[in-house]
Amino acid sequence: MPQLHYGIGVDLGATTVKTGLVTSAGKIITQAKLPTLGEQGPKAVILQIKKSIEEVMKHAKGKTLRGIGIGSPGIVDEKGGIVKDPPNISGWHHVALGEKIQKSFKLHVAVENDANVAAIAEAKFGAGKRYPSFLFVIWGTGVGGGIILDGKIYRGAFGGAGEIGHVAIDYNGLLCNCGAKGCVEAYVGQRHLSQRAIERLKSQPRSKILDLVGGDISKVEPMYISQAAYGGDKLAREIFTEAGTLLGVALGSVMNVVDLRVIIIGGGLSAAGKFVFDAVKKSVQSHVLKPLREDIRVLPAKLGNSAGILGAAGLVL
């Protein structure tokens, strides 16, 4: 067996900074959790990141550390490790996060957008290990993603590639939060699924979804639809099958443009059961060009909440 080496992975989230000491085999040896303190501005946040790194470093004595990787919301400028306009951190416009952490710890530091980091985690340690190239999808509040090509993240010309939530599936369709019409996110994102369930429950009140919210229709959210679907509820399964089918239309377009065959889907809304993956796959296959159809695979992500730490560490491992 090759000698293990180690990396530190920082998952900078909206409410929590999660930092782990990770082996080159993808095992988290120890981790620290601190509040992000985003409302106190960049200085406070950077201090929290440093504290969390110091905490896990106590466990790294005598170990070969390859560096520190950071997954951050917002747009990340590859070269300088500059993080631009992350939501939920007040007063953070452009901050050279990589440089600041590098100066404090004298270690190699890499910073990457959080969706890309989750894609890297699946590539190195998760469902993508066997596939050099795949499309990674996070299906939750919105639809995000990352493109892995030959084991590396594909950043596009300006570092913002992979915005698959804003692939249009109906040129005259629903209005998306981004201001455009017909983005797939407007059809399969969290808010839309709830609305769709609430509408349908009015005519199909015998669904388990209603039981799960104690009969209070205003409390319906995707978590409950997902639970009901997992338990076999017909309406809940219908809603997720439709959503998976629509998601597949957008993913099919992406496969045609980027020429990929494998899709790995994570995020809260992907947990409703295998039938969702089947619906996505069927839809992707009916939308990609013929030579691609046979080889299309649609797989669940494996790493769940650990993807942030693992992928961040994966940036330096």
Name the site residues for a second copy (rule: CB under 8 A). Answer: 75, 132-133, 147, 149-150, 155-164, 166-172, 178-182, 246, 249-250, 252-254, 256-261, 286-292
> Which residue number, 151 or 232, has a Cβ lying nearer to a second copy?
151
Residue 30 and residue 20 in contact, taking contact as beta carbons nearer than 8 Å: yes
Q: 173: Cβ–Cβ under 8 A, 6 or more apart, which residues?
A: 181, 182, 186, 187
- Measured from the CB of residue 239, what is the shortest distance to a second copy in angstroms? 16
Separation of alpha carbons 292 and 280, rounded Å: 15
Residue 222: CB atoms within 10 A of its CB come to 27
Separation of alpha carbons 113 and 128, rounded Å: 18
> Which residue number, 114 or 233, has a Cβ lying nearer to a second copy?
114
> Which residue number, 28 or 161, has a Cβ lying nearer to a second copy?
161
Cα-only R_g, the chain: 20
- Measured from the CB of residue 185, what is the shortest distance to a second copy in angstroms? 11
Amino acid at 272: A
Separation of alpha carbons 261 and 270, rounded Å: 19
> Which residue number, 105 or 154, has a Cβ lying nearer to a second copy?
154
- Measured from the CB of residue 276, what is the shortest distance to a second copy in angstroms? 17
- Measured from the CB of residue 190, what is the shortest distance to a second copy in angstroms? 19
- Measured from the CB of residue 184, what is the shortest distance to a second copy in angstroms? 9
169, two tokens: 């599936």
Residue 96 C-alpha from the chain's centroid = 23
> Which residue number, 179 or 214, has a Cβ lying nearer to a second copy?
179
> Which residue number, 63 or 181, has a Cβ lying nearer to a second copy?
181
- Measured from the CB of residue 284, what is the shortest distance to a second copy in angstroms? 10
Q: Which H or E element spans position 281?
A: helix 274-287
